[in-house]
Each structure stands twice: as structure tokens, then as C-alpha cells.
């Protein structure tokens, strides 16, 4: 078996992982006032936040290119690959996963699996990293998919945002939820529920929301071992406070602070802090 892994730019990956020859990453473009950019190619993260702060309209994102995915799959056949796993951002926040299923039949020379990650960002990157590792360990394809599904089933994320308007205008949250949150100064805790972002609880203040996030994370990771990521959109102080609170409570899992990429920050806005957790399988 020669395994290729394909993902998208919302997956948080280290530079050494990105250099793996059997990893392929699809760009997700961001559009500001008619101009299209890709983070890391013609737009830095600093430039993105500057543009978002000064643009009269919110940016929007598009799905990865179907033509580019088709091109990669065609090339993989020529390069001698036999198996492919494509793992992309959750079907609950993008239609890309639904739109690519026909490629499985279009490329019969390859054994292809497109599981729904039901997540994005650092947990997605963790899954991609594991797929590459399991491939290097020469696990059977079905065994890899089984371990991946265990990880998907045990993964979750909870989010506190500063401004719900980004999620509303991007079609990721209802207008009613945003109105209540903004008018009453409520800090809603959002979460991925089967891959879709929904309101988990409404908390009155940011301090109480952070405390509640710590409680939820502790509950969700009580059984088993997890990799846990504190993820933020230019909210380093909140993230560090969250991290220190967990350390003070003797949190017993691997813990890392990372930033959301520009695509996800487009929908969350600046000042969001979240945690994502994924089981070690």
C-alpha cells in the first residue's frame, strides 16, 4: 500500500508535517472586496487581521477547488499511490465534503476514503498527523480508518467569541442567537454538535465563560488520554489565562496553545478563544 493524505488549509500542521511528500493540502481562498487571497501565499495572518479590521465589509471564504482535488487524484495514480484518505473541515460548516464523494467512483484505480472529520483547526491537524504516522507504521488501510473513526468520534471543540456577527453573516449561526447575545452582553459558549456549530450555553460574563470552559473540558476529558488545544483568534491573553487556569487545576492531558488560521478567523472574528480535544488512540 502506498498511502496519500489530502487535507485543507484549516488543518493546523507543523512545518515538518507540511513537508511530507505524501501530504497534499488544498487552499481555501479568502475574498476581500472582490480580491481573492490565500493565507501564506499572497496574504500573511497579520495582513489578514489588518484588512478585516479596516474593511467596510466582512471577508468571505470559498470551498477548496474541486478541479485541484481531481488533478491531485489523477497525479497520485501516475505516482504509484494505491490508497488515499482525504480529511477536510467539517461537513457542518462547509459543503465541500458532500461535493467530493463522486471522486471515489471517478478514480477507480485508487482506494479512496473521505471520512467526515466533523471538526477543523488543530484537532483536524492532529488527525492528519496521525494518518501519516499510521501509514509510516504500515498499518492496514482498514485499520487506519478504524483508528481515525475512533478519533473523530471522541473529538470535540467549544468556542467563546467576542462578536457573533461574523458567524451569523457567514451562515454559521442563527440571527436570533446573535441578537440575544449582543443585546444582553451574553458570552455564549458554542460547540461542534455532530460537526455543526451550535449554542451550548449562554453565560453572562467572559470570566464566567472561561470558568465554564474549564469545567466542560475537564468533564469531557475525564476518561482516557487526550491531546488538548487552546485555539484563539488574536486573543493571546485570554488563551494564556485559560492555559494557566488549567495548569493550576492540575489538568492531566497534553496541552498546547495555537492560533486559528485566517479562514476560520473569518467566521469567528478577532478575540475568540476555544478548546479542541482529541483522544490519543
Residue 127, judged by CB atoms within 10 A of its CB (0-12, 13-18, 19+), counts as: buried
Classified by CATH at the fold level, domain 3-28+63-153 comes out as: Rossmann fold (3.40.50)
Tens digit of each residue's pLDDT (9 = 90 or more) over 117-146: 999 999 999 999 999 999 999 999 999 999
pLDDT at residue 166 in the model: 55
- Indicate the pLDDT class of residue 175, thresholds 50, 70 and 90: very low
Matching residue, cell 454538535: 193
Does residue 268 or residue 239 have the better pLDDT?
A: 239
* 190-207: average pLDDT: 87
Give the C-alpha separation, 131 to 206, whole Å. 37
Give the C-alpha separation, 49 to 233, whole Å. 9
pLDDT at residue 134 in the model: 98
- Indicate the pLDDT class of residue 216, thresholds 50, 70 and 90: very high
Most confidently modeled of 32-36, 41-45, 140-144? 140-144
Q: Which residues does 63 contact at the CB level (< 8 Å), separation at least 6?
A: 28, 94, 95, 96, 99
- Indicate the pLDDT class of residue 176, thresholds 50, 70 and 90: very low
Give the C-alpha separation, 252 to 246, whole Å. 9
> CA angle 69-74-78, nearest 5°?
140
CB 143 within 8 A of CB 243: no
Does residue 203 or residue 119 have the better pLDDT?
A: 119
**What residue segments make up the domains of the chain, in order of their start?**
3-28+63-153, 156-279
pLDDT at 179 exceeding the cut of 60:
no
Q: Which of 258, 211, 213 is nearest to 231 (CA)?
A: 258
pLDDT at residue 162 in the model: 74
pTM above 0.85, yes or no: yes
Average pLDDT of the chain, as a whole number? 90
CATH of domain 156-279: 3.30.1180.10
* Bridge-based pairing state of the strands 156-160 and 111-113: unpaired
pLDDT at residue 188 in the model: 81
Residue 27 has φ and ψ, to the nearest 5°, of -75, 145
Amino acid at each position: 500500500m502506498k498511502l496519500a493524505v489530502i487535507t485543507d488549509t484549516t488543518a493546523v500542521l507543523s512545518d515538518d508535517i507540511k513537508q511530507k511528500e505524501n501530504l497534499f493540502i488544498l487552499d481555501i481562498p479568502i475574498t476581500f472586496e472582490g480580491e481573492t487571497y490565500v493565507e501564506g501565499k499572497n496574504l500573511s495572518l497579520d495582513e489578514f487581521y489588518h484588512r478585516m479590521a479596516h474593511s467596510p465589509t466582512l471577508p468571505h471564504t470559498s470551498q477548496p477547488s474541486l478541479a485541484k482535488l481531481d488533478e491531485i487524484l489523477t497525479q497520485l495514480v501516475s505516482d504509484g499511490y494505491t490508497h488515499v484518505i482525504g480529511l477536510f473541515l467539517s461537513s457542518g460548516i462547509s459543503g465541500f465534503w458532500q461535493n467530493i464523494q463522486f471522486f471515489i467512483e471517478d478514480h477507480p484505480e485508487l482506494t479512496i476514503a473521505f471520512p467526515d472529520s466533523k471538526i477543523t483547526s488543530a484537532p483536524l491537524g492532529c488527525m492528519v498527523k496521525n494518518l501519516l504516522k499510521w501509514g509510516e507504521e504500515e498499518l492496514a488501510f482498514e485499520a487506519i480508518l478504524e483508528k481515525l473513526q475512533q478519533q473523530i468520534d471522541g473529538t470535540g471543540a467549544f468556542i467563546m467569541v467576542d462578536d457573533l456577527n461574523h458567524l451569523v453573516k457567514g451562515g454559521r449561526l442563527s440571527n436570533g442567537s446573535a441578537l440575544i447575545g449582543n443585546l444582553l452582553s451574553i458570552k455564549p459558549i458554542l460547540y461542534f454538535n455532530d460537526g455543526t456549530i451550535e449554542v451550548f450555553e449562554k453565560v453572562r460574563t467572559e470570566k464566567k465563560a472561561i470558568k465554564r470552559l474549564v469545567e466542560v473540558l475537564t468533564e469531557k476529558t475525564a476518561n482516557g488520554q487526550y491531546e488538548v488545544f487552546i485555539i484563539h483568534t488574536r486573543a493571546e491573553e485570554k488563551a494564556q489565562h485559560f492555559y494557566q487556569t488549567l495548569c493550576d487545576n492540575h489538568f492531566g492531558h497534553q496541552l498546547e496553545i495555537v492560533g486559528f488560521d485566517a479562514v476560520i478567523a473569518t467566521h469567528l472574528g478577532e478575540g475568540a478563544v476555544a478548546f479542541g480535544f482529541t483522544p490519543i488512540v
